[in-house]
Amino acid sequence: MDDVQQLFRRHTYTAKFSVAFFYGVLVSIAVNFFWTPGHIYSSGATGLAQLINTLTGRYAPVQITTALGLFLINVPLFVLAWKQIGKSFTVFTFICVVFASTMIRVIQPVHLTTDPIICAIFGGAVNGYGTGFALKNSISTGGLDIIGIVVRRKTGRSMGSINMAFNSLIVISAGFVYGWPYAFYSALGLFVNAKVIDMTFTRQQRMQVMVITSRPKTVIDSIQNHMRRGITIVHGAEGAYHHDEKTILFTVITRYEMDALEVAMEEADPKAFVSISDTVKVLGHFYEPKW
């Protein structure tokens, strides 16, 4: 059993290592292929690192590269993640940031286009997918991801909206450095980035599930074997067609758990009626797995 657990743990670590490398490649493409040629600022720590690179290049005797700035900005956030989120999470965040900084330095800029609208949209989409994919696999990309996770746990806000709230400084800075039209281009890139994050990172999207079944105990056991979710039971329901006795079950899951729910229902009661709808807000305790 110990050998199996060690093999599973090794496989998990290898997968996360690969995801971190994949993110590093994507963020370097976003920065070097789109944002830098188009004079577009990214969100969060990457955008702040770009700003430091620009300002030190203009006004300081030594220019701090975007890659180095990205790593230095994340150093105090590693401490926050270690204390508030978890040790394993922090280690893989460190690896992810190292990959990102290295890839930005290693992969040389390719000037596909300098059109600021194209650069804003495609840079935001590429970076947003990389960030969302990393978060989906329980890896933080550092920067605002760490702050966003801590704030989301306390407020329930989505990662995308948290990023948008923190990025007004980046937009204003783009206006002062490159001119106000580029502030609007950067805002467009940030909007695309946030939307793609929310589309990819589905763990934050909550959904209400209503199950109408004649086999409630089997369904409850199956759902709770596949995921950690509380279930509310309503007895005494009646089907209008056959007038047979039914039980209604209510629970709230994340969109990330949709596949697990479908497997659980197929195992427990394939004939059950299941209705799933988006949930705007949840008050009270809602379990979220630790990173």
User: Could you read off the pLDDT of 134-181 as tens digits, one per residue?
Assistant: 888 878 788 877 877 777 766 666 655 666 677 787 788 878 888 888
Determine how many CB atoms are found less than 10 A away from the CB of residue 161: 17
Confidence of residue 4 (pLDDT cuts 50, 70, 90): very low
User: Which tokens go with 36?
Assistant: 């830098």
Region for residue 53 given its phi and psi (left: phi exceeds 0; alpha: psi -120 to 50; beta: otherwise): alpha
Distances (CA, A) of 263 to 225, 248, 267, 270: 11, 19, 6, 10
Q: Which residue has the tokens 């990205």?
A: 70
Question: How much is the pTM?
Answer: 0.74
- Looking at the DSSP bridge assignments, the partners of residue 206 are 254
User: Could you read off the pLDDT of 85-133 as tens digits, one per residue?
Assistant: 888 888 888 999 999 999 999 988 878 898 999 999 999 999 999 988 8
Domain ranges of the chain: 2-203, 205-278
> What would the CATH number be for the domain defined by 205-278?
3.30.70.120
What letter does residue 279 receive in the DSSP assignment?
-
Note whether 218 and 268 are within 8 A (CB).
Answer: yes
Q: Which residue has the tokens 């209604």?
A: 248
Nearest-angstrom CA–CA distance, 131 and 149? 13
Handedness of CA 94, 99, 100, 101 (dihedral sign): positive
